[in-house]
Amino acid sequence: MSVPMAIALSGQLLFGQPVMVKPSEAEKNLVQSTASSGGTGGVAGPFGPVDRKLYVGNLHFNMTEMQLRQLFEPFGTVELVQLPLDLETGQCKGFGFVQFTQLENAKAAQSALNGKLEIAGRTIKVSSVTEHGGQQDIGAKSADFDDDDGGGLVS
């Protein structure tokens, strides 16, 4: 649950510098290497089936669910759009989720849009979401944010 909140901090200023928070791609790389070695035929990853759900990050804060749906519908039937809103402002938190009915459509959308589409001056990030253990995983684990330096900043 802390991963989406951490990613939502992307672009915020810390000591006058914008912070860039991105999900780890280690698991996605593991899925790709497993698929290319013929282990699963690209259908399943290390935690079960590859999901039809996509994480969409670096969204403008004025983005709506309808706009997000319209952006992804050219790739296939979209069955679910989730756009978490900030409770104080009522605006988009800067990320959302899109789920397709077909895995192939999700892959096509990810390939076509990840890092290649700019909306309101922000290049969107699209990655697959896998579900295991009842929790969503967008490519990063809470351990990825832990440090052994007692929470100090690295300069």
Q: What are the tens digits of pLDDT across the range 75-92?
A: 999 999 999 999 999 999
8 vs 142, more confident: 8
45 to each of 9, 75, 101, 117, 136, how far by Cα in Å? 28, 23, 19, 27, 14
Cα torsion angle, 119, 108, 67, 6, sign: negative
* Residues in a beta bridge with 9: none
Residue 143 has pLDDT above 50, yes or no: no
Q: Is 24 buried (19+), middle (13-18) or exposed (0-12) by CB count in 10 A?
A: middle
Q: What is the pLDDT of residues 34-65, one digit of tens each?
A: 555 444 334 444 433 457 999 999 999 999 99
- pLDDT-derived band at 134 (thresholds 50, 70, 90) equals very low
Please compute, for residue 121, the number of CA atoms within 13 A of its CA located in the half-sphere on the CB side: 3
Kindly list the structural domains of the chain, giving each domain's residue range(s) and its CATH number in brackets, ordered by start.
Answer: 2-145 (3.30.70.330)
129 vs 125, more confident: 125
Please compute, for residue 41, the number of CA atoms within 13 A of its CA located in the half-sphere on the CB side: 2
Going by C-alpha positions, the residue among 103, 11, 89 that lies closest to residue 57 is 11
Mean pLDDT highest for which of 22-26, 130-134, 149-153? 22-26
Whether pTM > 0.85 for this model: the answer is no
